[in-house]
Amino acid sequence: MLFSKPLIIVSMIACGFVGATELTKEQKTKCTFTCSNYPHMHDGGCGKHIERDAEGKPIKWQLVKAHRTEKHPGYFNCLGTDAAFSTCCLPHKLPKDGTLTLMNKKNDPQAYDNLCRDSKPDRIAMQLEGCSP
């Protein structure tokens, strides 16, 4: 009996964490960008610059996977990600969970410019039937 009480408490905490990762309705349905302009970079991401050089140019990025929009393959949003911009990346470069930090070093195959491109808000995405603006 003494063992069951801690097990129940741990189970309740774990279930709470699982529920906390559930997407909101808006995160599931809002379309803000697509990666269709980048045929080889079709994974949506959300990013922010975390370091700049002396001239103010970004040299270090932090990226997370964007939320896929239900019923609209290829459309994404970055709601609730604390991102400054949306981006399109090569497949399987963005981690499913957590963040990816990239730098722009000369001749580095893992440099941001080699793996991703900044995307632009898509007006068409916001007009799709069933996709909330």
Residue in the block written with tokens 């949506």:
44
What are the percentages of helix, strand and coil residues in the chain, rounded to 5? 20, 30, 50
What is the Cα–Cα distance from 132 to 129, expressed in whole angstroms?
A: 8
The reported pLDDT for the residue numbered 120 is 77
Confidence check: pLDDT of 5 > 50: no
Give the predicted TM-score (pTM) of the model: 0.74
Kindly state the tokens that stand for 11. Answer: 């189970």
As a whole number, mean pLDDT of residues 60-88 equals 93
Task: Give the helix/strand (H/E) hosting 117.
Answer: strand 116-118
Indicate the pLDDT class of residue 12, thresholds 50, 70 and 90.
Answer: very low
- Is 76 inside any structural domain? yes
The reported pLDDT for the residue numbered 18 is 40
Indicate the pLDDT class of residue 7, thresholds 50, 70 and 90.
Answer: very low
- Is 49 inside any structural domain? yes
What is the Cα–Cα distance from 128 to 91, expressed in whole angstroms?
A: 25
Domain containing residue 59? 27-127
- Is 13 inside any structural domain? no
User: Which residues neighbour 93 within 8 Å (Cβ) at sequence distance 6 or greater?
Assistant: 43, 100, 115, 116
Indicate the pLDDT class of residue 78, thresholds 50, 70 and 90.
Answer: very high
Indicate the pLDDT class of residue 122, thresholds 50, 70 and 90.
Answer: low
Indicate the pLDDT class of residue 110, thresholds 50, 70 and 90.
Answer: confident
> Do residues 125 and 131 make contact, with C-beta atoms less than 8 angstroms apart?
yes
Looking at this protein, which amino acid is placed at residue 41? M
- Is 82 inside any structural domain? yes
What is the Cα–Cα distance from 100 to 8, expressed in whole angstroms?
A: 35
How many residues are given for the chain?
Answer: 133
- Is 9 inside any structural domain? no
- Is 60 inside any structural domain? yes
The reported pLDDT for the residue numbered 79 is 93
- Is 20 inside any structural domain? no
As a whole number, mean pLDDT of residues 107-116 equals 86
- Domain tally, the chain: 1
What is the Cα–Cα distance from 30 to 49, expressed in whole angstroms?
A: 24
